[in-house]
Amino acid sequence: MPELPEVETVMRGLTPSMEGAVVVKALINRPDLRWPFPENMAERLTGNRVERMRRRSKYILADLSSGETLLIHLGMSGRMLVSGDPLGQFTHDHPKAEKHDHVVLDFDNGARVTFNDPRRFGAMDLLETATADQHKLLSGLGPEPLGNDFNESHLAEALKNRKLPMKSALLDQKIVSGLGNIYVCETLYRGKMHPSRRACDVTAHEVGELVPIIRNVLSEAIQAGGSSLKDFRQADGELGYFQHSFYVYGREGEPCNASDCSGQIERIVQSGRSSFFCPICQR
């Protein structure tokens, strides 16, 4: 499932074509994805200008002139692809319709945005912009890891007295939003922290080191256009390439990249998810 860097990459790719443009036609090709589309979705989108594009955790949010916000979740295989962009960001024309093109938005600037999702685990909803943060999907989210509210004090307070493993703690969206399996594995490796280590045992010094590591991992991944493992594509259809920089994720049995380490990357399963780590570097 796309994590924060992938969603941020897609949002940034959509912004030049969508922000400031008016939806002139909305084609909804099925009644639902992971859950039903909102009532009269096509009519509620048509004729409205996209005032602002933004991201919250793993959700893309498009604030509309109607006072509603279009919430988009990519799910496991969802793609938001732009074609016909008059700004010159993309070179390909509108493609032929494909089987899994579930939502197609045409804009007054000539751009078309197509939501394609073969596995249909993605989702779209319309929220009242003024109260969007109170929506059930957004209200319980912790701070953005690249924002000012995520800092050493917050993380230390969130981890104290918590006996769950650090891998689980960093995946908890109430502690920090947007992190997923890939970037937690990479963060813990750079922080030299075993994924099974109890959160309550992490020292204040280690917490202080972990916050900038999280920021750096995410920033590097965004700069690389995210990680393309199976289905992920950027808004122009191109692959991300941060997967070529993985230290541990998906590298079970391969040698650790640290120059002074003779260890091999191992994999354990925690809460049904694979955790990759170096048993020598991470304690």
4-134 and 152-277 share one fold = no
> 27-57, pLDDT tens digit by residue?
999 999 999 999 999 999 999 999 999 999 9
Catalytic residue of the set 55, 56, 58, 79: 58
Question: Which superfamily does CATH assign the domain made up of 4-134 to?
Answer: MutM-like, N-terminal (3.20.190.10)
Annotation marks residue 36 as catalytic = no
Is 112 catalytic? The answer is: no
The 10s digit of each residue's pLDDT in 65-99 is 999 999 999 998 889 999 886 666 555 578 788 88
CATH number of 152-277: 1.10.8.50
Structure tokens at 113: 């945005």
What percent of the chain has a predicted confidence (pLDDT) above 70? 92
Rounded-to-integer distance, Cα 23 and Cα 43, Å: 10
- What phi, psi does 70 have (nearest 5°)? -85, 120
Q: What is the mean pLDDT of the chain?
A: 92
* pTM (2 d.p.): 0.91
From the candidates 12, 44, 197, 273, which is the catalytic residue? 273
Residue boundaries of the structural domains of the chain: 4-134, 152-277
Neighbours of 62 (CB within 10 A): 26
Q: pLDDT above 90 covers what percent of the chain?
A: 82
The pLDDT score that the predictor gives to residue 204 is 95
On the question of pLDDT at 230 being above 90, the answer is no
- What's the pLDDT at 31? 96
